Structure 1
Amino acid sequence: MNTTVRTPEHPMAFTSVEFWLGAWTAWGLFLAFLPALIIISSLPELFTPSAGFIVVAIIYGLVIGGFVSLVAMLVFSPLAWLLGYCLRRTADRWIHVLAFTTLGAAVGFVTFAAWTLLAYAQITDALISWPNWSYAAGSAVAVALGWWRASRRALERDDLRSEYPPTRLNAFLRRSDGDAQFEDFALDS
């Protein structure tokens, strides 16, 4: 009784739980990178007398950037799902990393360009500004790392399942719900 969705024909198939784990991880990583991205995008103003604004920019940036990046994650998730679906037959993880890095860069660039257009109505700032490229780079790294963590965890769970024979007890203990580890710990105690 194999409970994984991965097969020899589809070695990188994924479940919806695994997909959303990657998406939420990517969003969380982007929020973790956001203060550094705000500082990088503010480098020209960093060495001026008004450099104290960086703290305020980080606070507002986390609130606004958190909301905007959450909306971007939800809007672009179908595209990420489609990319993963198209790559499910490809076992080479580096191809996946490259594909999701590219997707993350595109999402970061489009999201920040749209934000700049809505906020300032300037097409040149939206397309060629230094902050746009820094946010695209941060988004690229966050999406790639989110995919990497989710895929690594899914493949490790597959390895764990293959170590135990498919008995009724192991099938019960190793089911794919989110709190299985907590329940396993409670049963082992």
Structure 2
Amino acid sequence: MSAEDAAGFGVESPRSPEQPMAFSVGEFKGGVFRAWGWFLLCSLPAFLFVPPALGWSGVYGNPVEPLLSTIPLALVVYLPIGFPLVVLPWSIAAALLGSPFAYTLGMSLRRVQALWVHLAAFTVLGVGIGVATAAIAVITELLPAPAMVGFVLASGIAVPLGWYRTVRRALENDELAAASVDAVPGLPGA
């Protein structure tokens, strides 16, 4: 049964043969939250870049010192303090400010069914959001540029992961909806 037929029985899907990768506002919001969640998870290892970057940029007197204390310093100082005071608010702002770009990109690709095209485009978007956020952090002297590398990588991984999981879930829901309509006796297509 097609998405249009399933929609006629109360199961609505924004996807159609002409727009196989269309999405609803709810699916979009879910994708933003998933990407944000993936970023938070992927940003945890990024904290290992912070102490060495501070040493390389001259914040520490001896650049070798932060290399020797990277893990303890990240676990004791940067995670408990930096995560709630820096990563959470900055990532929320990045998600909110990046969402219109993600929406525009998704809308422009809704007729393209090839998943690799979407993954490549959303990876570029994620890196772009990471670079823009990192640039603001460096300009405002929150952290030196080398400290931001891990966060840019986290963004470049998180955005396509959030997109991919959202798409897989939406397509699986479409299949389940079509199968449930097919399973009801007496309905067209059953």
Shared fold by TM > 0.5? Answer: yes
CA shift for structure 1 position 51: 6.2
Distance 1:51 1:4, change over 3 A: closer
Which one has the largest radius of gyration? 2
Task: Write out per-residue CA displacement over residues 91-117 of structure 1, whole angstroms, 9 at most, x where no aligned residue.
Answer: 001110010011000101110110121
Which residue is 1:104 aligned to? 126
Distance 1:53 1:151, change over 3 A: same
Which residue is 1:75 aligned to? 97
SS in 2 for 1:42: helix
Unaligned runs of 5+ in 2: 1-5, 56-65, 185-190
Q: Aligned equivalents of 1:42 and 1:96: distance in 2?
A: 35
CA shift for structure 1 position 42: 3.0
Q: Which of 56, 71, 93 pairs up with 2:77?
A: 56
CA shift for structure 1 position 8: 0.6
CA shift for structure 1 position 167: 9.1
With normalisation by structure 1, the TM-score equals: 0.78
Q: Aligned equivalents of 1:34 and 1:165: distance in 2?
A: 42
CA shift for structure 1 position 14: 0.3
Unaligned runs of 5+ in 1: 169-189
Contact 1:34-1:61 within 8 A present in 2 as well:
no
Which residue is 1:156 aligned to? 172
Match runs of 1:13-52 below 5 Å? 13-43=22-52, 45-48=66-69, 52=72
With normalisation by structure 2, the TM-score equals: 0.78
Task: Write out per-residue CA displacement over residues 96-139 of structure 1, whole angstroms, 9 at most, x where no aligned residue.
Answer: 0010011000101110110121135x9xx5xxx33333211110
Contact 2:43-2:150 within 8 A present in 1 as well:
no
Q: Aligned equivalents of 2:51 and 2:122: distance in 1?
A: 27
Which residue is 2:14 aligned to? 5
Which residue is 1:179 aligned to? none
SS in 2 for 1:110: helix
Task: Write out per-residue CA displacement over residues 2-34 of structure 1, whole angstroms, 9 at most, x where no aligned residue.
Answer: 221101110000001111111101111111122
Quote the RMSD (CA, aligned, Å). Answer: 2.1
Contact 2:20-2:111 within 8 A present in 1 as well:
yes
Task: Write out per-residue CA displacement over residues 138-189 of structure 1, whole angstroms, 9 at most, x where no aligned residue.
Answer: 1010001000010000000000011022799xxxxxxxxxxxxxxxxxxxxx
Equivalent residue pairs, number: 161
Q: Which moved more, 1:130-139 or 1:24-33?
A: 130-139
Q: Aligned equivalents of 1:154 and 1:51: distance in 2?
A: 39
